[in-house]
Amino acid sequence: MTTTVTIGVVPINATYTAVTGTTSGAGTGAKFDVTKTNGVYSTAVESANAGTGYALGDTVTIAGTALGGAAPANNDVVIVTGIGTGGKITGFATSGTGAIGNGIIDTIIDVTGTTGIDNYVFNDKSTDYTVANDLTNKAILVTSALDTTVSFKLENHERVTFTDKATAFDITGTAGDVYALLKAGLGGTVNTTYEGLGIKMEDAGQTSAQVAAVIAGSSVFTTAAGGSDYASFVNFVYTNVVGTAPTPAQALPYVTQLATGATTEGAMLAAAAHITTFQQTIGLVGVAPATTGVLSTSGIDYIPA
């Protein structure tokens, strides 16, 4: 794991389309698309708007204020080197330097994680920060709410911990698995303390079925299900997963499997929690064409055990 601290102006990279400028000659109508990357301009004349009346050597000055900077310091100057019929611009050279940032000095702490589960610990309350998951770059972005010029880029990290709670982004891993087990087993809003206990168990090497067995065997489950018999178990889990209670005919095969020892409550709960449509419903995975569920953005809150 490596940490890099960068103090400076954060580059503002953007593309400005159909911008115009002031010409030194008689030409008019040319429009340009300008892409600015770390202060370097890349300029292209729009084929449908190459203008008329331009002459070799003419200059077109695009004001820096139109490109996120200042004039004249950040002007983009186009020098006409080729003309076509009617004085259209067919070739040109450019000069100019774009504004790199917004002038505000920012501090970015970039921490690179490992191939395993990486957790970054903040010795402050979660309300002192904003947290976002950058799926494209596989990084958790954490910005101080007290000083917005200070931010953390936690690359290849799965979790962040504050003094009052933690948030997990291993949605398709341990945190997501425990979340699904609790939703299928207990329904309703996932208890953050239970989520933390389940994460601790799976991090220590216990399987999904083993965690499911603990949930199914708990007094909390028995109370919520209204009994400890197989019928109560099946009815409760089926309702949590499907959204409606099973008919006697629908429940019978599952009750029979449990009664005959063909499976266990833990194994059945684990299997139910991994049904794709259920995981889509609770936001762990996306519904096509989406590739990720809503929890990939918000993360899963839990109280570390």
pLDDT at position 45: 97
pLDDT at position 105: 78
| CA dist., res. 45 & res. 91, Å (int) | 9
Strand 105-112 with 129-134, pairing: unpaired
Edge-to-edge strand list for the sheet holding 40-52: 14-19, 28-37, 40-52
Tokens of 187: 């329904």
The predicted model scores a pTM of 0.74
CA 182 centroid distance within chain: 23
Q: Average pLDDT, stretch 175-201?
A: 98
| CA dist., res. 10 & res. 208, Å (int) | 43
pLDDT tens-place string over residues 237-262 = 999 999 999 999 999 999 999 999 99
| CA dist., res. 162 & res. 303, Å (int) | 10
pLDDT band of 104, cuts 50, 70, 90: confident
Does residue 152 surpass a pLDDT of 90? yes
pLDDT tens-place string over residues 29-40 = 999 999 999 899
pLDDT tens-place string over residues 262-284 = 999 999 999 999 999 999 999 99
Share of the chain above pLDDT 90, in %: 90
pLDDT tens-place string over residues 20-29 = 999 999 999 9
Does residue 204 surpass a pLDDT of 80? yes
Does residue 189 surpass a pLDDT of 90? yes
User: pLDDT: is 148 or 214 the higher one?
Assistant: 214
pLDDT at position 2: 86
Share of the chain above pLDDT 70, in %: 100
Q: Average pLDDT, stretch 86-109?
A: 90
Does residue 70 surpass a pLDDT of 80? yes
Does residue 235 surpass a pLDDT of 80? yes
Nearest CA to 92 among 40, 45, 26, 30? 45
Q: Where are the domains of the chain?
A: 14-95, 107-164, 174-302
